[in-house]
Amino acid sequence: MDRCFIFAAGTFYGLRRRPEAGDFVIAADAGYRTCRALGIVPDLLLGDFDSMDQPTDFAHVERVPVEKDDTDTMLAIKTALDKGCKEIYLYGGTGGKRLDHTLANLQSLLYLRRRGARGYLYDNDFVWTVIENETLTVARTVEWGLLSAFCLGDRAEGVTETGLQYPLADAVLTAEFPLGVSNHIVAPEAAVSVRSGALAVGWQLPPL
């Protein structure tokens, strides 16, 4: 299988892509409630069940200890990689009351990229992914739509951004100054590339 959908326990802002036949679906702890509300039956419910009680009417459960190094969402990501998935769509990975989990899930996008997969983290009319030593092309779907790029690490060198209100050419981004925040896509397509380093790139989506 190529695609995995993970539903975590953060804020759910609406379904942008729906799982299809052959996709692997994981509910991470209370993300199971979102699946139930959407009428989606996950292939696996994984978690320590500190956000909800373990359901008694669902058989495909993997219960993990509360005290562990991985979050439930990271365990779901590792499971997706073990299944051979190359595209991971993460819902409920932002919002809520836990900024720490949002930051953890952004970091997990780099974990995926360095293992040959790409993750997409859905926020409120926004989606995030990570690029490393590569180029990403984004189609404009919102007039004057926002795009942001942040350095993940000490330095990202050779950063070039085209099709944006404020273009960059062979620039250096660092983790100490958010130069890449809140740009605007002004062309039919925008491109963000980095020669050396990693960037978290997010862009605006049309409202549902």
Q: What does the pLDDT look like over 47-90, one tens digit per residue?
A: 999 888 999 899 999 999 989 999 999 999 999 999 999 999 99
Q: Are strands 126-132 and 118-123 parallel, antiparallel or unpaired?
A: antiparallel
CA distance 34 to 40: 8
Q: Could you tell me which CATH number the domain at 130-204 has?
A: 2.60.120.320
Nearest to 164 by CA among 203, 133, 126, 195: 203
Nearest to 173 by CA among 121, 131, 116, 204: 131
| Residues in the chain where the model's pLDDT stays below 50 | none
Q: Hey, is 147 helix, strand or coil? A: strand
Indicate the pTM of the whole model: 0.96
- Residue 50: per-residue pLDDT: 87
CA distance 67 to 59: 23
Q: Which residues make up the CATH 3.40.50.10240 domain(s) of the chain?
A: 3-124
Q: Which residues make up the CATH 2.60.120.320 domain(s) of the chain?
A: 130-204
Q: Are 189 and 137 in contact (CB under 8 A)?
A: yes
Q: Are 29 and 54 in contact (CB under 8 A)?
A: no
Span 146-161, pLDDT tens digits:
999 999 999 999 999 9
- Residue 179: per-residue pLDDT: 96
Query: What is the CATH T-level fold of the domain 3-124, as seen in this structure?
Result: Rossmann fold (3.40.50)
- Residue 51: per-residue pLDDT: 86
